[in-house]
């Protein structure tokens, strides 16, 4: 008790300027909030110089590598109004993106001139609770020695040369850019709009804001995030009876339309699912809720956007302007390290036939995040002999797609077996030769019961069924 009184007495003796310096040196907004809650004097000192203190604490937390700027962009990212809304309230998504990126974003400066403590808390919480854990998981996945020879070399390099601030900031920036894209376009099914050219326009409006190697960095993020959620999803899809009856694919990867839908839900949901890799089947089942939710699909999300940009950015008739525009685009953030740009230029065909933004066969390079590392890190890998830093820069593996572990025939057999259990009232977990965990007792309603239920619903709504309506529904 006496120590507390002495502390309070000491605060009263401390000049306000020094208290403000102490508050401004705190590592993140949570510490700042905790501090100003402990003392009215600290709170009043904070209020006298609020903007300077909040800005300083955010820089302490995010660094000066442009991460704060892109975290702020993500915080401010409001999607366009969906076209299902009244016509007078519709917003042109292209114009929305142009306005969104239209502010002065030179250097690493923030967009805001004033910060609220609530905004600072929110932006830091998303960073600390979502972005940083995903960044850590990316580093771990990229350097998994079981993945490929380069990943093994990267693992060795990280042991002798810990990850640098520039590398962590670069990865975080790429994660924020993915989150920006999904907040702007996550509710679009871009593939359904490709017939009228909107897919191209939507892709171009976003992607032309970035240098080619920054687009490739986002391709690495796309593949990484898909690899984080696919094992959990595939495990449930392989064993759940309801999903088997619905023929849910259990051989998915990042490009699969179901995985792309999951990615469109955002980084927070992705991390929640990714963490289930270390849990049991029951926890995965509880989150994905297969008995009540058949997986949605999005064939035109991030993977499609990158693929389309790569396809159309070729030096061919009618596309030279796009090719030149992308190849000469300024970086969204001026990275002082040449590593990412160097690796991108080396990966491009020497004849200039492609910008190598998202080549199908480059999945093995994206797996170890080839455009995310500092030049010194790449030199480490070159000294180990696992990569080359001079042309010709050729793949270390045969140019093939990422291999599949399950054939279509194996999936068909599994689906038929589980569908048979489903119609007999079985639910829950199943494996070939093991029905010990099947939950029994769920009986499907007969056709007559379905008809009566439908008529009752219509009666309660005050409607009459149309002739032949029930028959069509039950056909």
Mean predicted confidence (pLDDT) in 232-252:
96
Is the pLDDT at 55 greater than 90? The verdict is yes
Predicted pLDDT of residue 451 = 67
Predicted pLDDT of residue 9 = 56
pLDDT range class, residue 426, cuts 50, 70, 90: very high
Predicted pLDDT of residue 473 = 31
Which has the minimum average pLDDT: 356-370, 415-429, 438-452? 438-452
Residues 177, 214: contact at Cβ < 8 Å? yes
Is the pLDDT at 396 greater than 50? The verdict is no
Mean model confidence pLDDT for the chain: 84
Name the nearest CA neighbour of 291 among 245, 249, 252, 250: 245
Pairwise CA distance, residues 333 & 341, whole Å = 12
Contacts of 185 (CB under 8 A, 6+ apart): 79, 93, 202, 206, 264, 301, 305
The Cβ-side half-sphere exposure at 197, using a 13 Å CA radius, reads: 2
Pairwise CA distance, residues 252 & 221, whole Å = 17
Distances (CA, A) of 106 to 172, 252, 337, 425: 18, 40, 18, 62
Pairwise CA distance, residues 276 & 270, whole Å = 10
Predicted pLDDT of residue 187 = 66
280-310 pLDDT per residue, tens = 999 999 999 999 999 999 888 899 889 988 8
pTM of the predicted structure, to 2 decimals: 0.86
Residue 242 main-chain phi, psi, to 5 deg: -60, -45
Length of the chain in terms of residues written: 475
192-239 pLDDT per residue, tens = 544 445 656 777 888 889 999 999 999 999 999 999 999 999 999 999
Tokens, residue 303: 């993977």
Mean predicted confidence (pLDDT) in 115-141:
97
pLDDT range class, residue 191, cuts 50, 70, 90: low
CA 24 to chain centre: 32
Predicted pLDDT of residue 470 = 40
Which has the minimum average pLDDT: 10-14, 271-275, 330-334, 467-471? 467-471
Pairwise CA distance, residues 178 & 419, whole Å = 37
Is the pLDDT at 445 greater than 90? The verdict is no
**Residue 358: how many other CB atoms lie within 10 Å:** 25
| Between 289 and 113, the higher pLDDT residue | 289
Mean predicted confidence (pLDDT) in 17-36:
95
Pairwise CA distance, residues 216 & 344, whole Å = 8
Predicted pLDDT of residue 468 = 42
Predicted pLDDT of residue 111 = 64
Tokens, residue 464: 């009459």
| Between 87 and 202, the higher pLDDT residue | 202
CA torsion angle for 62, 66, 70, 76 (degrees, to 10)?
80
Report percent pLDDT > 90 for the chain.
60
């Amino acid at each position: 008790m006496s120590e507390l009184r002495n502390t309070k007495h000491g605060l009263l003796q401390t000049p306000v300027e020094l208290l403000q310096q102490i508050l401004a040196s705190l590592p993140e907004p949570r510490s700042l909030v905790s501090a100003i809650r402990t003392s009215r004097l600290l709170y009043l000192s904070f209020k006298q110089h609020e903007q300077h203190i909040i800005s300083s604490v955010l820089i302490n937390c995010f660094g000066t590598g442009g991460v704060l700027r892109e975290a702020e962009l993500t915080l401010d990212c409001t999607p366009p109004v969906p076209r299902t809304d009244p016509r007078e309230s519709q917003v042109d998504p292209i114009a929305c993106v142009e306005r969104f990126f239209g502010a002065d974003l030179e250097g690493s400066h923030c967009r805001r001139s004033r910060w609220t403590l609530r905004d600072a808390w929110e932006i830091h919480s998303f960073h600390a609770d979502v972005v940083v854990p995903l960044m850590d998981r990316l580093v771990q996945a990229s350097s998994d020695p079981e993945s490929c020879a380069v990943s093994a070399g990267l693992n060795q390099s990280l042991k002798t040369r810990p990850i640098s601030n520039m590398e962590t900031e670069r990865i975080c920036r790429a994660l924020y850019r993915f989150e920006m894209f999904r907040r702007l376009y996550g509710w679009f099914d871009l593939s359904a709009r490709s017939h009228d050219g909107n897919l191209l326009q939507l892709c171009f409006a976003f992607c032309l804001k970035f240098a080619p190697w920054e687009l490739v960095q986002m391709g690495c993020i796309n593949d990484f995030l898909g690899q984080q959620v696919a094992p959990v999803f595939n495990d449930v899809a392989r064993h759940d009876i309801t999903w088997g009856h619905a023929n849910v694919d259990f051989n998915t990867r990042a490009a699969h339309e179901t995985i792309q839908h999951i990615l469109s839900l955002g980084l927070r949901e992705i991390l929640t699912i990714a963490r289930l890799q270390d849990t049991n089947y029951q926890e995965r089942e509880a989150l994905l809720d297969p008995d009540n939710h058949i997986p949605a699909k999005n064939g035109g999300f991030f993977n499609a956007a990158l693929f389309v940009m790569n396809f159309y950015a070729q030096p061919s008739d009618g596309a030279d302007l796009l090719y030149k525009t992308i190849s000469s685009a300024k970086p969204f953030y001026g990275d002082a390290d040449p590593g990412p740009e160097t690796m991108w230029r080396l990966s491009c065909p020497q004849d200039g036939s492609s910008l190598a933004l998202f080549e199908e066969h480059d999945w093995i390079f994206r797996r170890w995040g080839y455009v995310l590392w500092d030049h010194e890190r790449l030199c480490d890998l070159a000294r180990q002999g696992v990569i080359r830093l001079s042309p010709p820069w050729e793949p270390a593996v045969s140019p093939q797609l990422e291999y599949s572990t399950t054939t279509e025939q194996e999936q068909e057999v599994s689906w038929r077996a589980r569908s048979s259990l489903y119609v007999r009232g079985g639910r829950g977990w199943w494996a070939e030769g093991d029905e010990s965990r099947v939950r029994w007792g769920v009986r499907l309603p007969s056709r007559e019961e379905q008809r009566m239920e439908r008529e009752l619903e219509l009666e309660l709504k005050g409607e009459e069924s149309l002739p032949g309506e029930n028959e069509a529904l039950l056909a």
